[in-house]
Structure 1
Amino acid sequence: MSKEITQKQIDAWKAEHGDIFMIKIEDKKAYLKKPNRKTLSYAAMAGQKDNMAFNEIILKDCWLGGDEEIKTDDGLFLSASAKLPELIQIKEAELVKL
């Protein structure tokens, strides 16, 4: 079990990274930031050869704190992997011909 993450720590992460997310799996928690373009590009390239590599890279590069077992236990990792796409928020764009 990791040390308890305080609201003060979460506020510090928000100040540094913007939006912060928590994935909760039973009594385990992972605190993550949104991936940047560099992380997404690297993960996408690795994911072409190994589907799990995409999730591993996103989880590793976006990880701020929490229970390390989420990264090492297959069952917990797969549960977290199911939520990772929600970190990648794509806004609706509009193309207007002028």
Structure 2
Amino acid sequence: MAKKENITDVTPEIIEGWKKQYGEVFALEVAVDPEKYEPGTVTKDLDDDIPKITGYLRKPDRKVMNYAVVTLPKSISGAGKAVVKDCWLGGDERLLTDEAYNLAAALQAIELVDFYQSRLKKV
């Protein structure tokens, strides 16, 4: 199987094409420079004014969801990395190849996996 070519120069027209093909498309942004962790001061959201790199993901399909659900209890980062890899449409390849950026992307991408409350009762 040939490696899918990465689209790095993502335009609004390309995004519209992805939306037609995949439905929802998500921009995954990671800050270029790391923040040092200080207890009680975790930044809630990414500041729009700081440099960031961006990748684009589609909604996970059933195969990706199944893998993520099975992997999640053992490794949230492993499940998220699978989502990033399998749902990748294009963008800055550092989100795939650089371990620090990939981990940050994975922890955000896991939010694309929907979980529903459920139960099984004997009746």
- Bin for the TM-score computed over the shorter chain: 0.7 to 0.9
Q: Which runs of 5+ in 1 are unaligned?
A: 94-98
Greater share of helix: 1
The amino acid across from 2:67 in the alignment is: Y
Superposition misfits of 4+ residues, deviation over 6 angstroms: none
Task: Tell me the distance in 1 between the aligned counterparts of 2:60 and 2:71.
Answer: 15
d(CA) in 1 for partners of 2:115, 2:68: 16
Matched, 1:67 2:72: no
Q: Which of structures 1 and 2 has the bigger CA Rg?
A: 2
- Where in structure 2 are there 5+ consecutive unaligned residues? 1-6, 32-51, 119-123
Deviations 1:19-78 (A, max 9, x none): 100011133111001101221112333445554331221111110001111112121112
The two structures, once aligned, show a CA RMSD in angstroms of: 2.4
Quote the Cα distance in structure 1 between the aligned partners of 2:85 and 2:24.
17
Figure out how many residues of one structure are paired with residues of the other and give that number: 92
1:85–1:18 CA distance, 2 compared to 1 (3 A): same
> How many percent of aligned residue pairs carry the same amino acid?
33
- 1:85 paired residue number: 110
